[in-house]
Structure formats: C-alpha cells, structure tokens
C-alpha cells in the first residue's frame, strides 16, 4: 500500500509540474473569459470610430426613415451624385448610398459607392431598413399601421413546458437549458476520459520502452504499479477540475456584467434540474468511467513498444468511447428511446449517455443500477488489465495482436 502511494505521488507530481498541465489549467478559463469579454470590448471600440454614409435619396422615401445604427451614421445630401462620389474620398466617409426613383414614385435602383468592400452586416441591415420602409409605405396606402401588422405577425406565443412527477408536483422546465446542460456534461466527460486515458497509455509506453519498468517491478508488483499510475492520473484530473471550478467562479464573479447571459443560463439550469443530483452523478460517472477506460488504455500501452504502434490497438479503448459519445448526442434530442436506456446501462457508454439523460428525469434506482454495473465492470477489467499488463510490459520487440493479448490473459505468473 505504501508503495502504491509512492507511485501515485510520483505520477501526480510529474504531471502537475508539466508545462502543458499548467497551461491547460490557466489558459482554459482565460480563453473562456476572453470569449465573453472581447466581443463586448470590441463593440465599445467600434462605436468610437463612427462610419458616415452619405445618402442621396431621389425617391424621398428614405430621407426620414434611415435610422443610425450603432456604428453607422447616415447623413442626407442633396448634391448631385458625381460630386458626392468625389467628396467620398476627400471627407474620408465610408460610403455613398444612392437611391433612385422609379417613374411610379417607388424606390428604384439602389447603389452603394465605397472605397472598401462594404461589410455584409452593414449591407444586410440597410437592406432590412429599406425593406421595412417600403412596407410601411405600402401599408400606409391600406391604412394599416406598422404596430398593427406586428401584432398580427408576431402574436407573442411561447410554449411553457411543465414537468410533473408521480406525486403530481409541477415544475417549470426549460428544454433548451436541459439539453445544453446534458451536452456540456457529456462532452466534458468524453474529453476528460479520452485525454487522460491517453496519458495513462503514454506513461505505460514510456516505462516499457525505456525499460524502467524492469527496475520498478523488481520492487513493486505490476498490478500495484498500474493501480498507482491510474490513481495518480485520476488525482490530476480532479485537481484540474477543481482549479477550473474555482477559476471560473472567480471570473464570473468579477465580471458579472459581461457574463450576465451565462449567469442567467446557469441559474436556469439550477432551476430546471436538480443541480445537486447532476453534480453528484457527474463526479461518480467521471471517476468510474475514467477508471474503466484507464485500465483499457493501460492494456494498449503494455502491448506495444512505442507510440506509433498504438493506432490499431487503441481502437479497443477509443471505439466504445466514441460510440458512447454519439449515443449521447442522439439522446440529447431523443431522451426516451430504448437506445438511450440501454446506452445508459452498458458500462462502456453509460457515463456519457446517463449524464445526457439525467436532466430529462431518470429515477435514482436506474442511476444506481447503472453505476453498479459500471463499478463491477471496472473491477473486472482492472483484473484483466493487470493480467495482460504484467505480461505485456516485459515483452519487447513486436507489437502484440489481439489474439496474443488473450493468450497473455491465460498466463500464470
């Protein structure tokens, strides 16, 4: 036991000290903060440099109608178009908008002259404004106001979704929030398992290819070495998640204004689902799912001599994980299919699939059953992995086939 702790400690310290760990841990929250803050900052910068578009409106419809947008100011002019075009360069204006008139007094050809290419955004919003103006003119002819037509076309209908339980309690639910939360948890789980599973595999290969393993297992049992490695990396995962939670909380707290959307969304999650249930399940499925896949990745690592040989065998571990990921994606839109149920029971896919199902309401009984199956499978596969690992780490020279792995399984010590 003491020796396992030594291995755990080494695995943990070596990984936590790595630059990549530090960068990941700090950079992810910062990137996240940037994603939220930068657009807000950019919007502020833009408004400082206002763009002026001069408008020559021969039709007369748009003269009063074009509203300034937050970066664009419209200035009406009556000078002939040629002199306006000349002024464009001189005054460093953004563009000239020339609206011609048809013979029947409607808006005719519209042309925009500019030095730079006009951005799609600006073009779209001008088009929308002109369309609206044109509609207004038409509506005026029929004596209908814009407000009237708006209430007809957009009568403000929202479907309120209410979840009921067996006791008849009603709870307002928010389907988009549920799906969002389910997705985030499942995707997070998938990436964590994949990333750290591969780390385990690399660790095993490093020890095997550098023959360190021979020195180590002359002092510690292979099974203990493997367990120490898996637990050590698990500690790294938990540390990273903990630091992320803390950093995210700080960022969101400090910049509450910029994150009002996210804060609202989180609040809606908390209201929509039993947040504690989700959190507990996330941690449990993460730990058990990670342990199961870690032993699979350890098998792959022990069967090869170097990383370039891992491609084929890695499928043993990565294919079930991928399948789980895709079932999870389906479950977020169709949470009540048999696929969803079985996916959340079969241990290789259950961590992701069950997390995706939970927001839509899964009984504790089902969750506990699924967790038990997962735990039993993890114990079984760790036993298998230990048997293969023990033989594999001492086999040099060629990469093992799947058949050989089975043979190793049957070896006596």
Partner 1 sequence: MILRTENVVKQYANHLALDNVSIEVPRASIYGLLGPNGAGKTTLIRIINQITAPDSGKVYFDGLELQEKDVYSIGYLPEERGLYKKMKVGEQAMYFARLKGMSKHDAEKNLQKWFQKFEIQAWWNKKVEELSKGMAQKVQFIITILHKPKLLIFDEPFSGFDPINVNLLKSEILNLKQQGITIIFSTHNMASVEEICDYITLINKSKNILSGQIDEIRHNYGDNIFEINYRGETDILQENIGDNYQILGCSDQKFFRTVKIKAIVKEPANTLISRIIKDTEIVNFNEIIPSMNDIFIKLVEEDK
Name the site residues for partner 1 (rule: CB under 8 A).
Answer: 3, 6-7, 10, 14, 18, 206, 209-212, 214-220, 394, 407, 412-413
Please, which residue, 161 or 210, has the CB nearer to partner 1? 210
Cα–Cα distance list, 299 to 401, 403, 404 (Å): 12, 13, 12
Please, which residue, 305 or 366, has the CB nearer to partner 1? 305
Contacts of 252 by beta carbon, 8 Å cutoff, 6+ apart: 259, 262, 263
- Cβ atoms 3, 223 nearer than 8 A: no
Q: Which among 262, 119, 97 has a CA at the least distance from the CA of 184?
A: 262
- Distance between terminal CA atoms of the chain? 21
Please, which residue, 87 or 309, has the CB nearer to partner 1? 309
Contacts of 195 by beta carbon, 8 Å cutoff, 6+ apart: none
Please, which residue, 228 or 343, has the CB nearer to partner 1? 228
CB of 317 to partner 1, least distance (A): 24
Alpha carbons 97 and 54: distance in angstroms, whole number: 6
Please, which residue, 102 or 210, has the CB nearer to partner 1? 210
Please, which residue, 127 or 210, has the CB nearer to partner 1? 210
CB of 387 to partner 1, least distance (A): 13
CB of 191 to partner 1, least distance (A): 24
CB of 413 to partner 1, least distance (A): 4
Please, which residue, 66 or 400, has the CB nearer to partner 1? 400
CB of 195 to partner 1, least distance (A): 19
CB of 315 to partner 1, least distance (A): 24
CB of 393 to partner 1, least distance (A): 10
Please, which residue, 185 or 388, has the CB nearer to partner 1? 388
Alpha carbons 244 and 27: distance in angstroms, whole number: 10
CB of 299 to partner 1, least distance (A): 18
CB of 391 to partner 1, least distance (A): 9
Please, which residue, 29 or 203, has the CB nearer to partner 1? 203
Please, which residue, 291 or 388, has the CB nearer to partner 1? 388
CB of 11 to partner 1, least distance (A): 11
């Amino acid at each position: 036991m003491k020796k396992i702790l030594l291995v755990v400690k080494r695995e943990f310290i070596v990984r936590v000290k790595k630059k990549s760990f530090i960068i990941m841990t700090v950079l992810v929250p910062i990137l996240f903060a940037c994603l939220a803050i930068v657009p807000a900052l950019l919007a502020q910068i833009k408004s400082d440099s206002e763009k002026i578009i001069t408008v020559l409106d021969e039709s007369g419809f748009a003269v009063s109608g074009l509203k300034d947008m937050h970066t664009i100011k419209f200035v009406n002019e009556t000078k002939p178009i040629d002199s306006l075009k000349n002024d464009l360069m001189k005054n460093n204006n953004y563009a000239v908008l020339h609206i011609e008139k048809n013979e029947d007094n409607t808006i005719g050809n519209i042309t925009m002259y500019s030095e730079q290419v006009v951005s799609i955004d600006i073009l779209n919003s001008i088009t929308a404004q002109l369309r609206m103006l044109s509609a207004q003119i038409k509506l005026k002819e029929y004596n209908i106001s814009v407000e009237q037509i708006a209430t007809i076309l957009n009568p403000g209908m929202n479907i309120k979704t209410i979840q009921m339980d067996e006791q008849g309690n009603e709870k307002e639910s928010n389907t988009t929030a549920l799906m969002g939360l389910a997705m985030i948890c499942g995707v997070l789980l998938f990436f964590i398992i994949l990333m750290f599973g591969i780390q385990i595999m690399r660790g095993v290969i490093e020890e095997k290819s550098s023959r360190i393993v021979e020195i180590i297992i002359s002092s510690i049992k292979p099974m203990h070495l493997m367990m120490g490695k898996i637990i050590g990396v698990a500690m790294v995962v938990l540390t990273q998640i903990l630091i992320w939670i803390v950093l995210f909380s700080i960022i969101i707290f400090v910049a509450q204004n910029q994150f009002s959307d996210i804060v609202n969304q989180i609040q809606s999650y908390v209201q929509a689902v039993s947040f504690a249930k989700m959190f507990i399940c996330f941690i449990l499925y993460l730990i058990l799912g990670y342990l199961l896949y870690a032993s699979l990745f350890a098998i792959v690592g022990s069967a090869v001599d170097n990383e370039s040989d891992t491609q084929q065998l890695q499928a043993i571990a990565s294919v079930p994980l991928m399948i789980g990921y895709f079932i999870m994606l389906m479950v977020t839109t169709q949470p009540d299919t048999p696929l969803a149920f079985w996916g959340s029971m079969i241990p290789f896919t259950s961590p992701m699939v069950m997390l995706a199902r939970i927001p839509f309401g899964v009984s504790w009984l089902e969750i506990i059953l699924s967790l038990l199956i997962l735990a039993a499978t993890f114990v079984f596969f760790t036993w298998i992995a230990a048997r293969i690992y023990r033989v594999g780490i001492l086999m040099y020279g060629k990469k093992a086939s799947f058949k050989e792995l089975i043979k190793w399984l049957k070896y006596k010590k």
